Amino acid sequence: MLSQITICPMSEEDLNDVLLIEAASFPHPWNRTHFLDELKSPHSFPLVAFDAGGRVAGYICAMQVLDEGHILDVAVRPDLRGCGIGRLLVEKVLGMCRQSGADYVSLEVRPSNLAAVELYRRMGFIVTGRRPRYYHDGEDALLMEFIFGDNEEEGDAV
């Protein structure tokens, strides 16, 4: 299955499918304007994973400024979760950031999103802090980082 996944830069034509996945994934989803802003930003590199049939299987929005990469948003189509597509997308971003000279990649994740937290830990991300009441519903965010060189031996990411 994963061998049939293709990762490409996101385009405006992908947004209808991306928005459906976003709405199915988050209680307070990004809207079209958020994604359009990411498509226009010189620091951002939104990516889309396509399945063998050419349908959007998942996406990731990330950015890099100087030596810091940051994952802003990642989601996989509900019927394909647990198949490794999210991992592929994160690995792609880690590789791109490393090649562009980033020292680390950070992200925020809900502590209640146990599957995501565990995936990031298996990939070598470490918890570096917490943002109190970060999300609309008052839930904190865990701050996690993948530090190139340090975490690569612990995780099996890149």
For the segment 120-146, the average pLDDT, to the nearest whole number, is 96
The reported pTM is 0.91
For the segment 92-117, the average pLDDT, to the nearest whole number, is 96
> pLDDT for 40-58, tens place per residue?
999 999 999 999 999 999 9
Residues marked as catalytic: 108, 120
pLDDT at 31 over 50: yes
Specify the pLDDT at position 151: 55
Q: Domain residues of the chain, as ranges? A: 2-147
Architecture of domain 2-147: 3-Layer(aba) Sandwich (3.40)
> pLDDT for 128-139, tens place per residue?
999 999 999 999
Q: How confident is the model at residue 104 (pLDDT cuts 50, 70, 90)?
A: very high
Q: Output the DSSP codes for the chain.
A: -GGG-EEEE--GGGHHHHHHHHHHH-SS---HHHHHHHHH-TTB--EEEE-TTS-EEEEEEEEEETTEEEEEEEEE-GGGTTSSHHHHHHHHHHHHHHHTT-SEEEEEE-TT-HHHHHHHHHHT-EEEEEETT-STTS--EEEEEEETTTTTTTS---
